[in-house]
Amino acid sequence: MLVSVVIPLYNEEENVEPLHERLKEVLDAAEFEYEIVYVDDGSTDGTLPLLETVQRSDRKVIVISLRRNFGQTAAFAAGFDFARGDIIVTMDGDLQNDPMDIPRVIKMMDSFDLVSGWRKKRKDPFFRRRLPSMIANFIISKVTGVNLHDYGCSLKAYKRDVIKNIRLYGEMHRFIPAVASWYGVRVGEIETTHHPRLRGKSKYGLSRTIKVVLDLITVKFLQSFSTKPIQFFGPMGLISGLLGFLILLYLSIEKLAYGANIGGRPMLLLGALLVIVGVQMIGMGLISEILVRVYHESQRKPIYVVKRIVGTEK
Ligand code: UDP
Ligand code: MG
């Protein structure tokens, strides 16, 4: 069994050497084969040359260097594309996750397809990091229906086929457990150690929370409606259109039967608006339906996920 450890690094020059040292210690003592995939996410400091030096002296290391800073999710995606392991473990490059946890996580993979770390005693500032993250985890768990304490923990492990079948966009690496679970993947959680950041600076602040919320909306929409978008837009369109129609009908009767002057009535504006919005919504639903078909048919991507097929081997 081969384990790939995928680690994104962006301007982590002070961390490269201690990180590699700690990793080696743990992985060399473990009973599985391993490779380490370092992804340099367009660092502008000495991270890349240091990684390349590490790589020269260690055959188990692969270094992928991205042309510019694409963000952590893209860096993970690059790592996944080049990782050859049967199990793929991810973690941060700043030693906030502890390499010591890797063997425990791998052990748990006997009974799960995906294991997510939980930084129970998280060593980050409370108001700027832990509180937003607690709220986010609560909302994400409620919305996705997949209950995890710590979606944001980078220390996670995936069976190969799980990760190879999921495409990542935006800030979405944190939602992989939710998406995977919808596909029927067995998701487990494990408490992991967390350290304060000793060297280098955190790359994130509060603004990430907004991105995460927007990504959550996307993920939820895709979960519920990605193969039937008209059922999302349709009802809104129909209700709006119908309401507008009734209002306009009422005004027309007033005008035609009673000769009322309806030119200055706010209801007229409202009715017209509702009809237009309704037509737009239904139009949007239909366009989305076409997009869904293009998406699935151009890639021959089925709308189901097969676990196993028995009886076609003759
Ligand atoms: N990172 C990256 N690209 C980015 C931002 C961050 O590869 O654009 C890496 C970073 O080098 C670190 C990991 O992602 O290894 C987590 O980043 P950070 O420690 O800043 O996040 P925090 O722990 O503060 O949430
Ligand atoms: Mg960190």
Per-residue pLDDT of the chain (314 residues; tens, 9 = 90+): 999 999 999 999 999 999 999 999 999 999 999 999 999 999 999 999 999 999 999 999 999 999 999 999 999 999 999 999 999 999 999 999 999 999 999 999 999 999 999 999 999 999 888 999 999 999 999 999 999 999 999 999 999 999 988 888 878 899 999 999 988 899 999 999 999 999 999 998 888 888 888 999 999 998 899 889 999 999 999 999 999 999 999 999 999 999 999 999 999 999 999 999 999 999 999 999 999 999 889 988 888 877 788 988 76
Quick check: CB of 79 below 6 Å from ligand 1? no
Residues 137, 141, 142, 144, Cα dihedral to 10°? 130
Single-letter code of the amino acid located at 250 = Y
Considering every ligand atom, which ligand is closest to the CA of 208? 1
* pLDDT at residue 284 in the model: 97
* pLDDT at residue 207 in the model: 85
CA of 274 to the centre of ligand 1 (A): 46
Using CB atoms within 10 Å of the CB of residue 223, give its burial: 0 to 12 exposed, 13 to 18 middle, 19+ buried: middle
* pLDDT at residue 48 in the model: 97
All residues at 6 or more sequence positions from 43 whose CB lies less than 8 Å from its CB, including other chains = 9, 10, 11, 12, 13, 69
All residues at 6 or more sequence positions from 63 whose CB lies less than 8 Å from its CB, including other chains = 37, 38, 39, 40, 48, 51, 52, 54, 55
Q: Which two tokens stand for residue 303?
A: 């709308």
Q: Where are the domains of the chain?
A: 2-226, 230-297
CA of 41 to the centre of ligand 1 (A): 9
Quote the CA–CA distance of 141 and 116 in Å, as a whole number: 13
Quick check: CB of 8 below 6 Å from ligand 1? yes
Residues 160/136, Cβ–Cβ less than 8 Å: no
CA of 9 to the centre of ligand 1 (A): 7
* pLDDT at residue 305 in the model: 77
* pLDDT at residue 309 in the model: 87
Residues 297, 301, 304, 310, Cα dihedral to 10°? 120
Residues 84/3, Cβ–Cβ less than 8 Å: no
Ligand 1: atom nearest CA of 71 is 8
Quote the CA–CA distance of 79 and 72 in Å, as a whole number: 10
Quick check: CB of 203 below 6 Å from ligand 1? yes
Four-way CATH pick for 2-226: 3.40.50.10800, 3.90.550.10, 3.30.420.40, 3.90.1200.10: 3.90.550.10
* pLDDT at residue 37 in the model: 97
Residues 228/156, Cβ–Cβ less than 8 Å: no
Its pTM stands at 0.88
